[in-house]
């Protein structure tokens, strides 16, 4: 399994071109699921696990990996399915999400595919743990909403400090924020922060919807007030148009080119920071810290209020 990720470095060239690499795997059964390769650090056979009393029922144990204690989550069970059996014969996908490292126990790892975000579509109504779906040949592949899975297991602090709430409400009047994210949990988290500091917002599901909304506001004349739309807060991974491509479209449009854009993502690392600089985003912010997000918004509001 180590060889499946050997060429990840070369795949970084795909980002910024509205393309992505997906790691395909199976849980219990033939259905294929996927996550973005850039969130995958390593694929290993399931190591020996140490049981932790009173841990979440989906955590099968803790693995000692290079001196670090890493929780191993049964992804099938976490998504409402049966637990994976005979785990020592199965695989663990080591990932980095939202500033944390965790392993996902899966039944099998299949392959990596290269697709365009334009080929990725929102999931069917009522899908609980999916952000999107794609068709690969005749098969339907389901992209997992890992942020939702982790929010149910680990939780996230969504409360903003009283000081930031007070400051935000003093600055918020007359300003608006556009939020784009394909994860329901992530959209809810960001909107909750903005609501706490008194900032009005519009929330959309992907980069294409965000771009269309911006064009509609231009047509309506809303963008003539350069301080009304304080910023765009966008995820990177989104169906139909990713965050990098959204920023590129914004910078190419004379009516939008000066917009302040924060790329708010669970994809961390030096690569993302360099990509953000190259496409022209103003700031990179790793998910999810309520106070850091509130502070970033308020810093921008102070700048445009001068």
Q: Which two tokens stand for residue 131?
A: 């952000």
Average pLDDT, the chain: 88
Q: How many residues does the chain have?
A: 306
The single residue listed with the structure tokens 């071109």 is 17
Give dist(CA 74, CA 50) in Å, integer.
Answer: 14
Please tell me the predicted confidence (pLDDT) of residue 52.
87
pLDDT the model gives residue 274: 63
3-state secondary structure 174-204: CCEEEEECCCHHHHHHHHHHHHHCCCEEEEE
Q: Is the pLDDT of residue 262 over 70?
A: yes
Confidence of residue 147 (pLDDT cuts 50, 70, 90): confident
Could you give the domains of the chain?
Answer: 2-153 (2.40.50.180), 162-305 (3.40.50.2300)
More confident residue, 18 or 106: 106
Check residue 78 and give its pLDDT.
96
Q: Give per-residue pLDDT as tens, 1-46.
A: 555 555 444 444 455 567 788 999 999 888 999 998 878 889 999 9
At 213-251, the pLDDT tens digits run 999 999 999 999 999 999 999 998 888 888 889 999 999
Q: Hey, is 223 helix, strand or coil?
A: helix
Average pLDDT over residues 254-273: 80
Question: Is 0.85 topped by the overall pTM?
Answer: no
Residue 152 φ then ψ, to 5°: -75, -25
Q: Check residues 239 and 188 and name the one with the higher pLDDT.
A: 188
Q: Is the pLDDT of residue 166 over 60?
A: yes
pLDDT of 202:
98
Residues in Cβ contact with 86 at an 8 Å cutoff, skipping those fewer than 6 apart: none
**Encoded tokens for 236:** 């990177």
Query: Could you give the CA distance from residue 201 to residue 294 in angstroms, rounded to a whole number?
Result: 13
Identify the pLDDT of residue 240. 82
């Amino acid at each position: 399994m180590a060889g499946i990720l050997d060429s990840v470095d070369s795949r970084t060239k795909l980002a910024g071109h509205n393309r992505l690499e997906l790691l395909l795997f199976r849980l219990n059964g033939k259905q294929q699921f996927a996550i973005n390769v850039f969130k995958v650090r390593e694929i290993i056979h399931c190591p020996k696990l140490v049981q932790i009393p009173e841990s979440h029922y989906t955590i099968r144990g803790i693995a000692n990996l290079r001196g670090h204690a890493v929780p191993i989550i049964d992804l099938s069970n976490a998504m409402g399915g049966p637990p994976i059996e005979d785990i020592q014969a199965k695989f663990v996908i080591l990932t980095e999400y939202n500033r944390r490292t965790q392993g996902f126990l899966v039944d099998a790892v299949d392959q990596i595919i290269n697709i365009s975000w334009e080929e990725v579509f929102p999931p069917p109504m009522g899908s609980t743990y999916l952000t999107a779906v794609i068709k690969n040949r005749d098969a339907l592949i389901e992209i997992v909403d890992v942020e939702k899975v982790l929010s149910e297991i680990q939780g996230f602090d969504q409360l903003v400090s009283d000081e930031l709430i007070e400051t935000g409400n003093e600055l918020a009047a007359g300003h608006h924020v556009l939020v784009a994210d394909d994860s329901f949990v992530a959209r809810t988290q960001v909107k909750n922060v903005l609501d706490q500091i008194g900032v009005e917002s519009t929330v959309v599901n992907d980069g294409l919807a965000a771009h269309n909304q911006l064009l509609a506001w231009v047509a309506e004349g809303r963008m003539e007030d350069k301080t009304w739309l304080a910023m765009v807060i966008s995820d990177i991974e989104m169906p139909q148009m990713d965050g990098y491509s959204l920023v590129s479209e914004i910078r190419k449009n004379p009516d939008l080119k000066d917009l302040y854009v924060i790329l708010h993502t669970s994809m961390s690392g030096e690569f993302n920071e360099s990509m953000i600089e190259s496409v022209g985003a103003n700031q990179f912010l790793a998910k999810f810290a309520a106070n850091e997000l509130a502070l970033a918004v308020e810093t921008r509001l102070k700048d445009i209020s001068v």
